[in-house]
Chain A
Amino acid sequence: MKKISIAAACICTQAALLAQEPAATPPNDIEALRQQVQALTETVKTLQQQVKDQQDALAKMNAMPSTLPANENRATTPEPNASPPPLFPTTDESLVATAPPTATSPAGVTTTSQFPTTDASVTTSSETISSSGTGASLTAPVTIAGGGKTYMNISFDGVFSLAYSSDRDLAHLETGDHDPQQRGFNARNAEIALDGAVDPYFEGFANIVLKLDNDNETEIELEEAFLQTTDLPWGLQVKGGQFFAAFGRINPTHPHTWDFADDPLVHGRLLGSDGLRGVGAQISWIVPVSWYSQIIFAAQNGRGNTGYSFRNPGNNGVFFGRLTTDREVRGLEDFVWLPRWENSIDLSSTQVVLAGLSGAFGSNETGANSRTQIYGADLLYKWKSPRAEGGFPFVKWQSEAMYRRFEAGRGVDQTFPVSETFHDWGMYSQVIWGFKKGWTAGVRGDYLHMQDSAFTDDDARQSRSRVSGDLTWYPTEFSKIRLQYNHDFLEANDFLAEREADSIFLQFEFILGAHGAHKF
């Protein structure tokens, strides 16, 4: 207020000067006078600006230029609502809280509003929300760590399980590397996940998994680390680095997002216990049609245990009984080629269907020219209540089927007696019912058919089936406790006897930090 009076005083003084001086001054001094007047005008402007700035500063501790037009007149609001009363005003003074319509009439117009229609304490021009200022009684004056103010999301996710099985060899009964591996406690998936924008062109993602083997030794794996474009035209996106193949629904996701404590049999046995992943590059395209349709195409090295059905040297150089070749890439045929096409439509405002077809084509190490082809089909149906709280209740039905044609050669130097072609297939289907907030119940059926062979005695080639049921409690989205029961049935073949097993798992998980949201 004082500043405004000073400014007004200045203006008056100068006006008086202007009124007096011209008459008393010879014409040749007019130019000089004009300059003087101009200089004075500048001074007035500067003063006005200063007044404005200071008021701004008073109104908000952080006076930044308005990015929001919400209160363009706020600058000259005569501070009536520096600390707005928590209840709406009843006296006349506070009813004048409305900002004057123009910046140059600070003391002028007042409105006759009965109820304030502006409130500088709720709208601010500042980007930072951490500052104190007017309305500080309502807005805690703190600085935020994280919460969109960091360069990346950093999270730690630990999944543990307590397991019992009637079968002693849980490590062979369970097909996934992150599944429980022994009776007792298991820590098979503790991951550090990082993600964020690299620059305006790329996003980066890394997932580093630590796990404890049955002797409590720490194993570490660079599960994923990739770069993804954000700004390509025509609905294209390119990804490069170490990543999970976009094959079906289970393979590209991390174990902590699964609805059961273990891997479906068909996934573990056809794509591998660690999932199909590797170093490579991927391009995807959103087909410009009215529904969701995406085509994904990737190439990966496919070498090692994470390329299980491909260039995998196997255990101690043996895969499906053959001594493996373990060779370098000779040509394009030695990469794993990974096409996928997925489509989704909304059946209604509460129902979604997502269906996909996937393929994985490459060489394997059991012979000089042996090839592997895997085909997959997946279907997801989800219903969610229109009045869902925390995402519940919902029903989710997910199924996947895979078929693998595996040319098993005669091994290094034709050391195996025969070459065979295996036609292996399997599927799983699961229904998850989120029956109340934080609670889900699930059932799953698994079937795996491995072609019989009179020559190949690998225990990974046993046909089998499984039924599972589980009950999960998510206290919040950052923790879960799951009880699961499995009944396994392993069929007899030329080398292995029929076997049954009952297993029970108690799984628990926690997430710390900012964990990126998951895809549908």
Chain B
Amino acid sequence: MKTIAKILAATALLLTTSLTTHAKINVVATLPDFAALASEIGGDKVDVTVLAKPTEDPHFVDARPSFVVKLRQADVLIDGGAELEIGWLPPLLQNARNPKIEAGKPGRVEASEGIRLMEVPATLTRAAGDVHAMGNPHFMVDPIIAKAVAQHIANSFAAVDPPNAAAYQANYKKFEATINAKLQDWGAKLLPFKGQSLVAYHNSWVYFAHRFGFDISVFLEPKPGIPPSPSHLAEVIAQMKAQKIKAIIVEPYHNRKIAEKVAEATGAKVVDFAQFPGALPNTETYVELIDALVNRLGAALQ
């Protein structure tokens, strides 16, 4: 009984301290791109915790028990939705028991909400590999979409933390202006290469391609999520030679050696791309990431 009393006392103490020290709102982002936007919008008024690492496959993150604790303490959760984290987020949310971040609450930002997803499959069959029933969820590499997500985040923060609402909206305006200005820069840099075809390891660049006018429809994976086979790679090499494709986009968690072999056979360059800030050197912010992507691609296509 004494130990129980002690535990209860300790708990009460913890609860009160957590109440008094939490002036900032606790934001949990499933992926580093959402976290980067949350930091832009929240500034010093929020604490941002990110679950996945920038270098790992966002579809297959371990549902670590420590994530339950982070979600339990969250005031706001930002996730991609559209089945992006379907393999690991639902059991975490089930265990976290945090009504503040339930779907539909102001504390829940499902980034894909309000985004018109591309590549919504007409029929659902897993014979097509890893299909996303609701469309391709790798939308954050389109800066125009990132603006919409940022505003969604600003609205959520404003609803959860009304005293700082103006600051969040101001930060959003700032972010919007930055992106609008940067878009001119990015667009100009990639303009000379518009219409070119690129090869990607995995089909996660459709939004980037759409925004900057590239055609990315040849992939090292025969089907999404299915590892490259020698026969498929032979086809890819033939297509690359025929179309004179000059760049192969790989992400940190892909098998770079395969891309290098194909590059060797075709004279194309391997371009290290990433969807997430932090995965490439000096890309802590969203703008830095897109900067890096644009510069890397520009350099490779030069």
Q: Are A68 and B120 in contact (CB under 8 A)?
A: no
Given known A119-B144, A130-B120, contact A517–B114 (CB-CB < 8 A)? no
User: Which residues A464-484 have CB closer than 8 A to chain B?
Assistant: 476-478
Q: Are B152 and A68 in contact (CB under 8 A)?
A: yes
Across the interface, B194 reaches (CB within 8 A) one of A87, A121, A139, namely A87
Q: Is there a chain B Cβ closer than 8 Å to A127's Cβ?
A: yes
**Majority secondary structure of chain A interface residues (helix, strand, loop or mixed):** loop
- Nearest B residue (CB) for A145: B124
Q: Give the distance in Å from the alpha carbon of A352 to the alpha carbon of B68 in the complex.
A: 13
Q: Give the distance in Å from the alpha carbon of A287 to the alpha carbon of B69 in the complex.
A: 9
Q: Are B188 and A114 in contact (CB under 8 A)?
A: yes
Q: Are A292 and B65 in contact (CB under 8 A)?
A: yes
Q: Are A147 and B83 in contact (CB under 8 A)?
A: yes
Given known A138-B210, A228-B94, A390-B57, contact A70–B114 (CB-CB < 8 A)? yes
Q: Are B14 and A476 in contact (CB under 8 A)?
A: no
User: Which residues B2-33 have CB closer than 8 A to chain A?
Assistant: 11, 14-15, 18
Q: Are B60 and A516 in contact (CB under 8 A)?
A: no
Taking each of A67, A237, A345, A437, which has the highest tally of chain B beta carbons within 10 Å of its own beta carbon? A437
Q: Give the distance in Å from the alpha carbon of A505 to the alpha carbon of B51 in the complex.
A: 38
Q: Give the distance in Å from the alpha carbon of A296 to the alpha carbon of B151 in the complex.
A: 40
Q: Are A140 and B121 in contact (CB under 8 A)?
A: yes
Chain B residues with Cβ below 8 Å from A142 are 120-123
A121 vs chain B, min Cβ distance (A): 6
- Nearest A residue (CB) for B256: A387
Given known A70-B152, A230-B97, contact A476–B225 (CB-CB < 8 A)? yes
Q: Are B184 and A113 in contact (CB under 8 A)?
A: yes
Query: What 0/1 readout, one digit per residue, does chain A (57-89) give for beta carbons within 8 Å of chain B?
Result: 000000000011111000000000000001110
Q: Are A349 and B91 in contact (CB under 8 A)?
A: no
Segment of B37-45, B126-134, B240-248 engaged in the interface with chain A: B126-134
Across the interface, A67 reaches (CB within 8 A) one of B114, B133, B180, B252, namely B114
Q: Are B14 and A518 in contact (CB under 8 A)?
A: no
Q: Is there a chain B Cβ closer than 8 Å to A321's Cβ?
A: no
Q: Give the distance in Å from the alpha carbon of A137 to the alpha carbon of B289 in the complex.
A: 28
Q: Are B114 and A123 in contact (CB under 8 A)?
A: yes
Chain A residues with Cβ below 8 Å from B170 are none
Query: What 0/1 readout, one digit per residue, does chain A (415-445) give for beta carbons within 8 Å of chain B?
Result: 0000000000000000000000110000000
- Nearest A residue (CB) for B139: A122
Q: Are A519 and B97 in contact (CB under 8 A)?
A: no
Q: Is there a chain A Cβ closer than 8 Å to B66's Cβ?
A: yes
- Nearest A residue (CB) for B215: A86
Query: What 0/1 readout, one digit per residue, does chain A (378-405) give for beta carbons within 8 Å of chain B?
Result: 0000101111111100000000000000
Given known A87-B194, A519-B91, contact A129–B120 (CB-CB < 8 A)? yes
Q: Are B133 and A148 in contact (CB under 8 A)?
A: yes
Given known A86-B210, A519-B95, contact A115–B184 (CB-CB < 8 A)? yes
Chain A residues with Cβ below 8 Å from B134 are 129, 144, 147-148
Chain B residues with Cβ below 8 Å from A344 are 64-66
- Nearest A residue (CB) for B119: A140
Q: What are 14 inter-chain pairs, A to B, with CB distance below 8 A? A: A68-B148, A70-B151, A86-B210, A115-B184, A119-B144, A123-B115, A123-B148, A127-B113, A140-B120, A235-B72, A288-B11, A344-B64, A390-B60, A438-B227
Question: Which residues of B are in contact with A by a Cβ distance under 8 Å?
Answer: 11, 14-15, 18, 53, 55-57, 59-60, 62-66, 68-69, 72, 82-83, 86-91, 94-97, 99, 102, 113-124, 126, 129-130, 132-135, 139, 142, 144-145, 147-148, 151-152, 155, 179-180, 183-184, 186-188, 191, 194-195, 207, 210-213, 225-227, 252-255
